[in-house]
Structure 1
Amino acid sequence: MLIIILMGDKMIKSMTGFGRGEANENGFHVLTEIKSLNHRFLDLSVKLPKVLSGLEDRIRLKIGESIKRGRVEINISLEAYEKSLDSLELNYDLLNQYINIIHDLKKSVNLTDDIKLSDILSIPGIIDVKSVNVDIDNVWTVVEKALDMSIKNLIDMRVLEGIKLKDDIINRLDMLSGIIDKIEERGPAVINEYKKKLETRINELIGGELDQNRFLTEVAVMADKTSISEEITRLRSHISQFRFSLDSSMPVGKKLDFLTQEMNREANTIGSKSTDLIIINGVIELKDQIEKIREQVQNIE
């Protein structure tokens, strides 16, 4: 398993996964969590404390270096174990305005109640919570370590899931190849059956000897119209490209999605050219397997 994970950069990856990382350094504790889901492009969502807002661009760049596709959500929390990251400040201007208003009210309506501390603390906005200034480069050193760890854990999970996807897709490609072989084998038999039926039908209608030239021409026209050799060749080429791409070190999800569309197109063409029940049933099996492959491809980076 360790060998597989270390080879992660040479294998296809799923777009789904989760990674967690922590780092303690320079008086700070940083926790990063990354979750990724399927998406056509790279879509990043970064949630972090206000004090770290200046690091968002660095975080996005860091993620983009390792992850190319998926809906990626990054949550980062920061704690300082030597001092608080927040400070409380009393809003004296607002407090004085409230006190003056209260004094005016007491005079105007002859109130005698004293102002209590609890009354002051309950005034909205009277105490402000402000973030203290921190050395952003100093914090980035800790954030980057936690981020690297969470990215590695995420990629490890995506690689393991990618292995499962690859195994399933290869099995289905093998099934596709088997179905294609059966369809191809059926092709000549369909022409021979058509030839016999046509000959029998002509004899029933006109009797006597056939005009062999016209008869063979008609059979040749039929064979040309129903020929699926080009579609079979392209299907096998697509399958070969599919297998090759599954061993690529680059993100191949979009390419594989395109190949499944092309395979489906060839299967549809074979179906439209044939009236033979065996071939039609083979096309149905082809389309079923291609659709299952397409569903798996949607998970690949």
Structure 2
Amino acid sequence: MTGYGRATARTERYEITAEVHSVNHRYLETSVRLPRSFSYLEGKIKEQVQQAVSRGKVEVALTMQSIGSKDTTVEINHDVVMAYLRAVAAENELLRESGLPKNQIVLGTAGSESGGATDALPLSTLLRIPDAFQVQQVAEDADVIWSEVQPVVTEALQQFVTMRQTEGERLAADVASHLENLESMTNRVEQLVPETVQQYYDKLYKKITELLGDRTVEESRLVTETAVVAEKIAVDEELVRLHSHIAQFRGFLESTEPTGRKMDFLVQEMNREVNTTGSKSQSLEITKLVVDMKSEIEKIREQIQNIE
């Protein structure tokens, strides 16, 4: 079943946003997207989803926006910077020995004859050196972070579940209308089966009478033949089971527990009973009803894919 939920919260260190959405799926499949540094939260979030959802392809997206820089330190990578400076110094020495024009980067002391360069490396040059800075995250307590994240995920899941419940009520009403149509058709088939047997008897009697002319029709043979046909086209058991399935299905619609998979199985059973009824039928009207009954069952099957 589709659904969506979103929640945000602001703590002393983070601005936290959690989004939950899902699409139809036969089983529960959960995926979590979150910052790499907080990957240890994935298992806890999946466990929380499993407690609230039993069916659907659910995706949870968590963002953690840091507030301030208390948890982040930036240090100069002295080894890298010194390696660059040594390389520049070596190049300058090589240029002096060769007599070629000097490099634009000159190392010296303030006010020296070398061009007035200072001991300090210009910030603009330092920022252009790859890996000159090291960014480190201060280690955080996982339990503390989870205590801040959990309420946000819980609120998003609550919104998500509420939306799914609203949609589920509409789906239940639609499925109930199809069940009502199916039951009405089932009742009509029950009325038509005896009529079909009588129609066969009358048709057989008329045909035999035409063939025998004035001779007496043997009533017992006619009744026996009709009984054989009635046995072949009897669908009493199938219709009783179909009524039972419909009643059980209505019980599932009123249940507060997840019943989507049970409905899947029950739809297969209803379809089997209707197919058997159609294969035994020798009535055009019953055959037409069977086609309509299968159509209603298919509509139910499509809808329960969205039911948890």
- When normalised by structure 1's length, the TM-score is 0.87
Return 51-60 or 168-177, whichever deviates more.
51-60
Tell whether the 8 Å contact from 1:26 to 1:138 is kept in structure 2 after alignment.
Answer: no
Tell whether the 8 Å contact from 2:16 to 2:152 is kept in structure 1 after alignment.
Answer: yes
Distance in 2 between residues matched to 1:192 and 1:108, nearest whole Å: 116
* 1:11-90 map, 5 Å: 15-83=1-69, 85-90=71-76
Deviation at 1:130? Answer: 3.8
Tell whether the 8 Å contact from 1:26 to 1:139 is kept in structure 2 after alignment.
Answer: no
Report sequence identity in percent.
38
Tell whether the 8 Å contact from 1:51 to 1:133 is kept in structure 2 after alignment.
Answer: no
The residue aligned with 2:253 is: 246
- What are the ranges of 5 or more consecutive residues in structure 2 without an aligned counterpart? 107-121
Tell whether the 8 Å contact from 1:231 to 1:266 is kept in structure 2 after alignment.
Answer: yes
Return 100-109 or 127-136, whichever deviates more.
100-109
Is structure 2 residue 167 aligned with structure 1 residue 172?
Answer: no
Which AA in structure 2 matches 1:264? Answer: N
Q: 1:224/1:90 Cα in 2 relative to 1: closer, same or farther (>3 Å)?
A: farther
Deviation at 1:175? Answer: 0.9
Distance in 2 between residues matched to 1:66 and 1:230, nearest whole Å: 40
The residue aligned with 1:155 is: 161
Return 29-38 or 155-164, whichever deviates more.
29-38
* 1:284-299 map, 5 Å: 284-299=291-306
Q: 1:210/1:19 Cα in 2 relative to 1: closer, same or farther (>3 Å)?
A: same
* 1:204-223 map, 5 Å: 204-207=210-213, 208-223=215-230
Q: 1:128/1:286 Cα in 2 relative to 1: closer, same or farther (>3 Å)?
A: farther
Is structure 2 residue 286 aligned with structure 1 residue 261?
Answer: no
Distance in 1 between residues matched to 2:302 and 2:24, nearest whole Å: 11
Which AA in structure 2 matches 1:272? Answer: S
Which AA in structure 1 matches 2:191? Answer: E
The Cα RMSD (Å) is: 2.3
Distance in 1 between residues matched to 2:69 and 2:123, nearest whole Å: 27
Q: Which has the higher contact order (CA 8 A, sep 6+)?
A: 1
Return 208-217 or 174-183, whichever deviates more.
208-217
Aligned length: 287
Q: Deviations over 1:90-144 (max 9, x none)?
A: 4444444455555556666756232875565445544444433222222211111
- When normalised by structure 2's length, the TM-score is 0.85
Q: 1:220/1:105 Cα in 2 relative to 1: closer, same or farther (>3 Å)?
A: farther
Tell whether the 8 Å contact from 1:28 to 1:139 is kept in structure 2 after alignment.
Answer: no
